[in-house]
A and B are shown apart, each in its own frame.
Chain A
Amino acid sequence: MIRIFAALFGLSILLALPGCSSFDSDPSTDLSPEVLRSRFSALKAPAIPAALQARVDLGRKLFYDKRLSAGENTSCNSCHLLNAYGVDGHSFSTGHDGKLGGRNAPTVYNAALNLAQFWDGRARDLVAQAKGPILNPVEMGVPNADMVVVRIKSIPGYVSAFRQAFPDSADPVTFDHFAEAVAAFEQGLLTPSRWDRYLEGDTNALNDEEKKGLKLFLKVGCATCHAGKGLGGNSFQKLGYLTAWPDQHDLGRYQVTLMDRDRLVFKVPTLRNIEKTGPYFHDGQIASLNEAVRLMAKYQCGENLRPEQVGQIVSFLKSLTGVLPDKYIAPPAFPSTQGNANTSLSNQATTGKGFGL
């Protein structure tokens, strides 16, 4: 019996030893662009098809137009500031009637690359997503889709713009078309960066510190979830996979699927422009990118990184910051409301009724 126990104990020690060894079972850390392209893809500047130009131009107007909200004081751009990398810098955004949203507003830049929209992925694409905030009581606050259509039709210039954007439609001003136009505009919000030049073969596009950070990024396992064209946005993952996440308040995707396995599961956010899109995580509670990286390494990858290692990864992440497409996001001229006194938006706003609230 003693010999059996001794054998078992010895075997256990033998089995435990490799866990402490330096044997490399980590993913590949080859930095050559050719090898990296099996896990990452370069992003190119968008090319808008001529046939969609009118729809994109309409979507830009709708994105910026505060008159579409219940209080005429909130647009998509209020929380997703296009000149600030698609975020507003707050943990939670302020919407209709000064109400706060429940999650951090994610960037709209490169959102077209996501497998689904919102932190919990409840919208399958940008079109479905565009229908959400305008009807959300704590965002733009319009009571229903019909009221959105009524509001748009009350602005004569929009009716002609919808007709141009949807020339084959007998009834161009619809809630679906509103969402399709906004989504068409958002499809063009892509921000290639130095990282993409590196992937395409320009190995001087990253400096030595950034390359060290990239190597560590790969070795630690960050690229398990932050891979592909968006370096994220293409999978769902449990927050706190290896160590329980401290705040278990928001159940994430569980609220969509009601399946136990989806508790604390969120869409993995893109790392493109991450330097500019803080505060971080679904609750926007972490202001520092260094701290966000440290937490992710610990809770998702099981690695306790030293501050200098965190700094190296952050250096690499900064290479993902793209240039904002200034011309594409230039605020447009809005269609005038004049000539339709019966549906004066300012009157509705001043009476506090808005859309009949």
Chain B
Amino acid sequence: MILSIATITALVILLVFHSSSSAIAGQPCSPPSASMEVMLKADPQIKNTIHRVCFNCHSDQPKYPWYASIWPSSLLIQHDRQKALARLNFSQWDRLSPEMSRIRLLDACTMMTEGKMPLWYYRPFHFEARLSSQEIQHFCAWAHLQ
């Protein structure tokens, strides 16, 4: 029994170490001046919304949940985050023209409005990432003004 527990514990530690080296590997960070909120002078509610709901996948400043260090969920998170960053990164807004900035914001609005974001399978573990209809409306109204 003791041997089994020790084996399982070792396996868990191994998996944790294995995945922490892959899931949390990141890109070089961008300066704050390159962020969307600075470049577009986002209002406090927009900042609050995107930090709370979007930043874990769509910024250079993720706050990884505990299961990001455990295989195989670590692989899922790594995959989702990479794909998310390729499509939208709030930390690299300086790479977009004003036209593309507006397109990305309207895309984000659409994804929120259609309930596609945040991804449904993360929602049960992230109560803080739930979006109210008022927040979505405010984000979309602001996006249309950009």
Contacts and interface: CB of A to CB of B under 8 A. Distances in A.
Contacts of A13: 72
A235 interface: yes
Contact of B70 (A1, A8, A39, A235): A8
Contacts of B80: 19
> In the complex, which of the residues A41, A221, A228, A265 has the most CB atoms of chain B within 10 Å of its own CB atom?
A228
A97 to B, nearest CB: 36
Interface residues of A, number: 39
Contacts of B145: none
Contact of A15 (B12, B73, B111): B73
Nearest to B8: A5
Contacts of A235: 95-97, 100
A228 B82 contact: no
B27 A27 contact: no
A28 B117 CA distance: 12
Contact of B76 (A15, A300, A302): A15
A16 B73 contact: yes
A16 B100 contact: no
Contacts of B119: 18, 25
Interface string B75-105: 1100110110111100010011101100100
B106 interface: yes
Task: Classify the secondary structure of B's interface with A.
Answer: helix
A300 B86 contact: yes
Given A27-B107, A115-B100, A18 B73 contact: no
A48 interface: no
A242 B27 contact: no
B67 interface: yes
Nearest to A229: B99
Interface of B: 4-5, 8-9, 12, 27-30, 67, 70-73, 75-76, 79-80, 82-83, 85-88, 92, 95-97, 99-100, 103, 106-107, 110-111, 114, 116-117, 119-121
28 contacts: A1-B5, A1-B9, A5-B8, A8-B70, A11-B67, A12-B73, A15-B73, A15-B76, A18-B120, A23-B120, A27-B87, A28-B110, A41-B99, A115-B99, A221-B86, A224-B86, A224-B107, A228-B97, A228-B100, A235-B97, A236-B95, A237-B95, A241-B82, A241-B86, A242-B86, A261-B92, A300-B86, A302-B86
